[in-house]
Chains A and B, each alone.
Chain A
Amino acid sequence: MAVIETKNLAYTYPGATRPSITDVSIKVEKGDFVLITGPSGCGKTTLCRCFNGLIPHFYQGQLTGEILVAGQDVTKHQTHELAKHVGLVFQNPENQLFALSIEKDVAFGLENLGYPRAEMRQRVDWALNLTDIYDIRERSPHEVSGGQQQRVAIAAVLAMQPDIIVLDEPTSFLDPLSAQKIFEVIHDLNKRLGLTVVLVEHRLDLTARYANHIIIMDEGRVCSDGAPREVLSNETTRLVGVGIPKATLLYQLLSKDGMELGNMTPLASDEMVKLLSEALEPR
């Protein structure tokens, strides 16, 4: 079942002369882990803003085409209605944190939806623990590091237990191990709870292995859409200049020069190690 479906979606920001996205027709199935990538300014963030109705309700501008999220027409439902289904984590955590304590920030969405106290407590603690910020829950979100702020923003969305979580470069301020940890948490929620994940990322080195679906955008359009191994092997992807994982690139370079490594394009280093060990094992 598709939880996000767009048909010929196009959007122009107020006052802009050109549309930021054009002719976007995509389908995200329930339980998918979708990676959206493409050059800076290609329309990734704009597309994400459509998923919870920030576009068109908050940003105004001109939206044409169709967009259904969790079966609801985004143009006819307000962001607060969509918020029960879709949680959005922004690029810059400072844009979404405002409470006096981390705990209160994480509880805010639940308070607004009127959850009972006990359930709120339990969900907030669950989200704080998952993102490893339980110990700093009483501090102000504005006095912790950029990486910790990003975890607070993620926890606030997770606490709402949405069906779909949309993350726009959620770990760019985190050190690599913390980033990996967050991606693993998200991947685990995707596997265990069937949470649909839409992740916008440039760093495919860190994320390609988690996705079952990759969408590549360029100049506001979708230029490649499908299974990760196929998308990362095709020519369009290379031409758009997407930073494909080094393990994948090494595989391509070696295959091109005649080394036989099999037909399964690796997405991560452990897969590449396996291929190389098999190919080069002493006879």
Chain B
Amino acid sequence: MIVVRDVRFKYPSGVEAIKGLSLTVKDGEFIAIMGQNGAGKTTLVKHINGLLKPTSGTIAVNGVETTKTTIATLSKSVGFVFQNPDHQLFSETVEEEIAFALKNFGFDKATIEKQVTWALNLLSLEQYRKTSPFMLSGGERKRVALASVLAWDPEILILDEPTIGQDHEQKEKLRQFILQLQSQGKTIVIVTHDVEFVAECNPRVILMKEGKIVADGEGKEILTNTGALEESSIVLPQIAQIFTQLEHLGFPKDVIDIYEAKALLLKAWEDRQT
């Protein structure tokens, strides 16, 4: 469980990025934090693994305040994948990159090998095992960064913009993967601008603006809230864009799923034919 209580955070430059924010994320929850550039999303999630410490207020992960432990200890339970993969990649081969943290945590050789292979397969990186991460495309480097964190199987996973540079198929894999992790009881926090991805996953959505939470609720509810989204610089997902303009035909406004959309429209079409 992650409990954020009245947190404020001021960067040394004097910019206050978090302006009094409280939030509880339960075990096994999947949440998406959305909002415009500079809203404080990344600053907030960096508090969860202790990379940043609040100027005031508290953050507790599984009951332990982040100011009373070390990043190294927190890392075991909180895995963090950065927005820009180049901020975390440094090894000579993809395999070494993924093994790095496992070695640091002191796992034995056989476990490391098993976990590395598992993570490589999971993210379709097996063919790049011996390749330098820097030879790979942007989307592939992003997957290496993700694999290197998934490999040690943390119970809380924070993904900062996981879909950037990912193609349709990889996004779909990521979605299924997140849902699978969630079913295993893991807590997943993603920071994203990708409304279509969020619409497909339908997690709890938190909208941030200027260091504060402006909306918090079910995906379906938040992603069809035109006013709140506009305020946060978020464009409605396409299915929601369509349905918010079909109200005059008697359709519900809060539709984000394409198959739900299809069923509603086909029914209306068939009713009209008879």
Interface residues of A (CB under 8 A from B): 13, 38-41, 45, 91-92, 94, 143, 145-148, 169, 172-180, 202-203, 205-206, 241-243, 245-247, 249-250, 253-254, 257, 259, 268-270, 272-273, 276-277, 279-283
Contact = CB atoms under 8 A, between A and B. Distances in A.
Interface in B123-145: 135-140
B37 A269 contact: no
B238 A176 contact: no
B166 to A, nearest CB: 6
B268 interface: yes
Interface of B: 13, 35-38, 83-84, 86, 135-140, 161, 164-171, 193-196, 230, 232-235, 237-239, 241-242, 245-246, 249, 258, 261-262, 265-266, 268-269, 272
B138 A169 contact: yes
Given A41-B140, A253-B258, A259 B242 contact: no
A257 B170 CA distance: 28
A172 B38 contact: no
Most chain A Cβ neighbours within 10 Å, of B13, B232, B237, B245: B245
A241 B170 CA distance: 10
Contacts of A241: 167-169
B193 A91 contact: no
Given A40-B170, A250-B261, A273-B246, A176 B193 contact: yes
B179 to A, nearest CB: 18
A249 B262 CA distance: 10
Contact of A40 (B139, B258, B262): B139
B86 A92 contact: yes
A276 B265 contact: yes
B83 A173 contact: yes
Contacts of A180: 235
Nearest to A279: B269
Contact of A178 (B138, B166, B233, B249): B233
B36 A177 contact: yes
Contacts of B161: 172-173
Nearest to A259: B269
Contacts of A40: 137-140, 165-167, 170
Given A175-B35, A254-B262, A279-B269, A269 B138 contact: no
22 contacts: A38-B167, A40-B137, A40-B138, A41-B136, A91-B165, A92-B86, A145-B37, A146-B83, A173-B37, A175-B36, A175-B232, A175-B234, A176-B233, A178-B37, A242-B168, A245-B238, A249-B258, A254-B266, A272-B242, A273-B242, A280-B268, A282-B249
6 smallest beta-carbon distances between A and B, as pairs: A40-B139, A243-B168, A147-B37, A246-B238, A269-B241, A177-B233
B266 to A, nearest CB: 6
Given A147-B37, A253-B258, A246 B196 contact: yes
Contacts of B164: 169, 172-173
Contacts of B235: 176-177, 180, 206
A61 to B, nearest CB: 12
A179 B193 contact: yes
Nearest to A45: B137
Given A38-B167, A250-B258, A254-B265, 10 more contacts: A40-B170, A143-B13, A148-B37, A175-B234, A206-B235, A241-B167, A245-B238, A246-B237, A254-B266, A282-B249
A202 B261 contact: no
Nearest to B139: A40
A205 B168 CA distance: 11
Contacts of B138: 40, 45, 91-92, 169
B76 to A, nearest CB: 28
A124 B89 CA distance: 35
B163 to A, nearest CB: 9
Contacts of B262: 250, 253-254, 257
B168 A94 contact: no
Contacts of A145: 37-38
Nearest to A180: B235
A280 B238 contact: no
Nearest to A150: B37
Contacts of B36: 175, 177-178
B168 A250 contact: no
Contacts of A273: 241-242, 245-246
A269 B238 contact: yes
Contact of B168 (A147, A179, A202, A282): A202
Contacts of A146: 37, 83-84
Contacts of A270: 241, 245
A277 B272 CA distance: 13
